[in-house]
Amino acid sequence: MKIAIPVKDESLTFVGNAGHTPKFAIYDMAGTGMFKSFKLNQVIDNPRSDLDHDHGDDDHQCSHDHNDAEHIAQHDKMGVALHECDYVVVKKACKNTANTMNANGISIVKYSGTSTKSDEVLREVSANFK
C-alpha cells in the first residue's frame, strides 16, 4: 500500500494543502493493525505547473476560478503523478483536488493534528489505512 504526504521538500515537513504543496513524499506501508510500519519510497515534485510555492501558507486562497478547465487540468496532473497511491493525507483539499484523487482511486485522509513531520503525521492517522 502506498501513501502520499504533501511536503515542503526533502526535510519531509508536512504541508497541509495538497493542491499547493511543492512535493509529495510517497511511503510504503507494511503490516496491519497496530503493527503497521512506513518506509519512505521517494519524494516527487508536485507536477502542477501553475503554482507559486512562495506563499508557503496552508491557508492560501487562490484567485482563479476553480471551475476553469486549465485549473482542473492542473489538478488532474497530481492524480496522474500519485496514481499508484492508495491514500493522500491532507489538512485541506479543494473540490478539484478531491475530484482528481477520487477519479484516480486515491482516498483522502484528513489530518487535524499539529505535527509538522510526515512520519509523525502518518503514525497519527495510521488507523485510517485499511
Domain residue spans in the chain? Answer: 2-128
Q: What is the pLDDT of residue 14?
A: 97
Q: What pTM, to 2 d.p., does this model score?
A: 0.87
Number of neighbours of residue 122 by Cβ within 10 angstroms: 25
Banded pLDDT at 66 (limits 50, 70, 90): low
Report how far residue 117's alpha carbon sits from residue 14's, in angstroms, rounded to the nearest whole number: 5
47-74 average pLDDT score = 64
The average pLDDT across 110-121 equals 96
Give every CB contact of residue 59 below 8 A, 6+ residues apart in sequence: 17
Element (H, E) at 96: helix 95-103
Closest-CA residue to 21 (of 71, 99, 73, 78): 78
CATH superfamily of domain region 2-128? Dinitrogenase iron-molybdenum cofactor biosynthesis domain (3.30.420.130)
User: At 53, is the pLDDT very low, low, confident or very high (cuts 50, 70, 90)?
Assistant: very low
